[in-house]
Amino acid sequence: MAKNERLQVNALPKGYRLPEYLIEKPISEGGFSVVYLATHLPTRSRVVIKEFFPVRYAKRIETGRVETITEEASRSYGMGIKRFFNEGSALVKINHPNVVHVTHLFRANNTVYMVMTFEVGRDMRWYIKRKNGGLSEKFLRTVFPEVLSGMSELHKNHILHLDIKPANILLRTGGHPLLIDFGAVKHMKGAANLEVKGHTLTQGFAPIEQHNHGNIGPWSDIYGIGATMYSCITGKPPPSAPERVKKDKLEVVIRSFEKKKYSASLLEAIIMATKMDMTERPQSIEEFMELLDAEPAGKSKIMTFLNRPVLGTGRKS
């Protein structure tokens, strides 16, 4: 079944009424969710709604209710709903100008819905495709400090994104980035690291520990940031982590761009962020920022940005 056909089968139809919301159209579908553009009826404002819908376990019936495919799938489905709700509850507490704002969650149709503010812009894929890579160092050093500031706020609240890639960075008017689509988000609950049992990953942007169900942490998101920066330069994602285990020439490819228009400090930061061994990567956003902004002398401009107090976004909830 084609992707668009599957989306039409699994998604709620245009005009469907949820409590206080009217579905305008489905936008996308992942392994564990369907995303919609919708209207908040009391305020007539547009929002984005993510519905927990694991295609492996669930099906849609005519009323719109979500049911499990088999009796055996019920336990996995129930655990998934609990995780989705808990992780969404953690995101509701985040209020940062570079992280999409989750306004609230609600239950309906035997599943859970996450409501987010609607933002206008184009994702980073569009810019990479338009330029066929080759995005300037000025672009990277303008956009990524804000992305990293948002990531730092998530990590301070013990939240991992785990699906950092160009498609999940929206560039709004003025070039201000916004982290979106928390389909793979995990709450660390204060733990030093987590072992991932079930998750979403994107080839080329997911580190080896996500493929191998290993220990994940801030270093896992840093890999995604490095892989995204690599795509901005080359126009394509890095080889997948399992491919790199067999044959790894990524560092050679990155260093080859030093002869073009990128500084050694920028390229070295990307190399360190995309190390296969997670212990060799920067272990925190702050470590990565210092590496990215390495200068012979003077105070780090990017670290100055990161250390600014977080202000309210001014977005409607």
pLDDT in tens, 201-235: 899 999 999 999 899 999 999 999 999 999 999 99
Q: How confident is the model at residue 90 (pLDDT cuts 50, 70, 90)?
A: confident
pLDDT surpassing 70 at residue 305:
no
Residue 47 has pLDDT above 90, yes or no: yes
The mean pLDDT of the chain is: 87
Q: Which CATH architecture has domain 16-117?
A: 2-Layer Sandwich (3.30)
Residue 30, classed as helix, strand or coil, is coil
pLDDT digits (tens, 9 = 90+) for 120-175: 999 999 999 999 999 999 999 999 999 999 999 999 999 999 999 999 999 998 88
pLDDT at 278 (0 to 100): 97
Which of the four pLDDT bands, split at 50, 70 and 90, describes residue 179? very high
Q: What is the pLDDT of residue 188?
A: 66
* Side-chain half-sphere CA neighbours of 97 within 13 A: 16
CATH of 122-306, one of 1.10.3720.10, 1.10.510.10, 1.20.120.140, 2.60.40.60: 1.10.510.10
Which of 30, 35, 86 lies closest to 56, judged by CA? 30
Residue 49 has pLDDT above 70, yes or no: yes
pLDDT(311) > 50: no
* C-beta atoms surrounding 290 within 10 Å: 16
Using H for helix, E for strand and C for coil, what is the string for the chain?
CCHHHHHHHHCCCCCCEECCEEEEEEEEECCCEEEEEEEECCCCEEEEEEEECCCCCEEECCCCCEEECCCCHHHHHHHHHHHHHHHHHHHHCCCCCCECCEEEEEEECCEEEEEEECCCCEEHHHHHHHHCCCCCHHHHHHHHHHHHHHHHHHHHCCEECCCCCHHHEEECHHHCEEECCCCCCEECCCCCCEECCCCCCCCCCCCHHHHCCCEECHHHHHHHHHHHHHHHHHCCCCCCHHHHHHCCCHHHHHHHHHHCCCCHHHHHHHHHHCCCCHHHCCCCHHHHHHHHCCCCCCCCHHHHHHCCCCCCCCCCC
DSSP single-letter state for residue 270: H
Share of the chain above pLDDT 90, in %: 71
Of the candidate ranges 99-113, 139-153, 242-256, 286-300, the one whose mean pLDDT is the lowest: 286-300
| 224 and 168 Cβ atoms separated by less than 8 Å | no
Backbone φ, ψ for residue 27 (5° rounding): -105, -45
> Across the chain, which distance is largest between two alpha carbons, in Å?
65
- Where in the chain are the domains? 16-117, 122-306
- Give the Å distances, CA to CA, from 159 to 97, 203, 209: 16, 21, 17
This prediction has a pTM of: 0.84
Q: Quick one: which of 302, 268, 266 has its CA closest to 285?
A: 302
**pLDDT of 312 over the 70 cut:** no
